[in-house]
Amino acid sequence: MGIRFGLIGAGRMGRVFANTLAYSVAEADLVAVADPEAATLDEVSARYGVPTRYTDYHELLAQKDIEAVVVASPTGTHAEVITAAAQAGKQIFSEKPLSQDLKACDLALAAVKKAGVKLQMGFMRRYDAPYAAAKQKILEGVIGQPVMFKATSRDPKRTSLEFARREHSGGMIMDMGVHDFDLARWLMSSEVTRVFSEGACLAFPELKDVGDIDNAVINLRFATDAIGNIDMSRNAVYGYDIRTEVLGTDGSLWIGYLQQTPTLVLTRGGVIHDTVPYFMERFGAAYAEEVRVFTRHIVNGTDPEVTGEDARAATAIGIAATLSLDEERPVLVSEVEE
């Protein structure tokens, strides 16, 4: 008998978690799913053999024999669902972000604290084997003292115009940057204290109409005085391009790759290879691993490594970097914390 899980939200990411809970985590049982769409419920419960289904997630939370929930509802509802789940005494794994609003973050974190339940946030990159190995090497001192963080985060196509609106996605810097803001804090073992963003709408003019941009470079300053830069783009037509570097006083670590399959085609035109199509091809295994780790935390009574506080900190950096874009000036993260 494994840990009994309920899944809240069965959209694209919800199905990824359903598949993981059903097939890839030996100690987990997926016993219920909640989603407002009846058709979605039918499909997901049939496909993954989930016995109980709800259109209202509160009913799922009321089911006594459910010990833990995975929150994969729309981004804007995370804080609210986490709060309710905490009040219902469930152990909580939630997709990122916690919220794009710091007050909402604080309310949810207070509820989690009061209930004394676990909350693990879905920054899956930390569970990607290459990133985990890099973190380990940094801790072992392989590169000396970290002095520079570099990240590239690029999508092969633009998001929907609806999602691009600030009120939905938080804008490109918040939406695409949150994973990098988390990696920056984690790999550098230091808080980001100042950000400065340059960004523009250069490839998809229609994004301008909904108030978004498609390219940005963000300078970072850390509490240790280390520095960094993140570049983002929605027009990496060649593929999904996620690369990260930590430069230290004694060396450097690069994490990431472009080539998806180990096939080279050599013709008169040169040597050609493919790229990574999109995020699931790159991070599919990490999405499974993070749930596996969370389940083990419940089994073992240990605390998650990626906390709600981490999610809140990434949100704060995103707010500051977006403010910097709007006001064309460097912004202290402490400014937006207040």
Q: Closer to a second copy at the Cβ: 93 or 196?
A: 196
Among 216, 298, 313, 317, binds a second copy (CB under 8 A): 216
Region 258-297 residues binding a second copy, contact defined as CB under 8 A: 258-259, 261-275
Q: 168 Cβ partners below 8 Å, 6+ apart?
A: 75, 76, 162
Alpha-carbon distances, residue 216 vs 27, 153, 173, 226 (angstroms): 42, 10, 7, 20
* Residue of the chain from 65, 167, 328, 338 that contacts a second copy (CB under 8 A): 328
Query: By the 8 A CB rule, do 48 and 22 touch?
Result: yes
* Contacts of a second copy in 239-258 (CB under 8 A): 239, 247-258
The residue behind tokens 């996605």 is: 169
Chain position carrying tokens 């920054």: 123
Sites for a second copy among residues 146-165 (CB under 8 A): 147-148, 150, 152, 154
Least separation in angstroms between residue 173's CB and a second copy is 12
Question: Judged by CB under 8 A, which stretch of 68-76, 97-105, 171-179, 218-226 contacts a second copy?
Answer: 218-226
Footprint of a second copy on residues 64-103 (CB under 8 A)?
none
Residue 174 binding a second copy, by CB under 8 A: no
* Stretch of residues binding a second copy (CB under 8 A), selected from 91-99, 115-123, 167-175, 221-229: 221-229
Residues 23-62 that bind a second copy (CB under 8 A): 23-24, 26, 47
**Judged by CB, which is closer to a second copy: 107, or 203?**
203
The dihedral formed by the CA atoms of 91, 96, 99 and 105, expressed in degrees to the nearest 10:
40
Pick 140 or 167: Cβ nearer a second copy: 140
CB of 45 to a second copy, least distance (A): 14
Query: Is residue 219 a contact residue for a second copy (CB under 8 A)?
Result: yes
Task: Report how far residue 194's alpha carbon sits from residue 336's, in angstroms, rounded to the nearest whole number.
Answer: 11
Residue 299 within binding range of a second copy, rule CB under 8 A: no
**Which long-range contacts does 106-109 make (Cβ < 8 Å, 24+ apart)?**
106/312, 107/79, 107/83, 108/78, 108/79, 108/80, 108/82, 108/83, 108/308, 109/308, 109/309, 109/312
174 Cβ partners below 8 Å, 6+ apart?
Answer: 97, 100, 315, 318, 319, 321, 322
CB of 310 to a second copy, least distance (A): 22
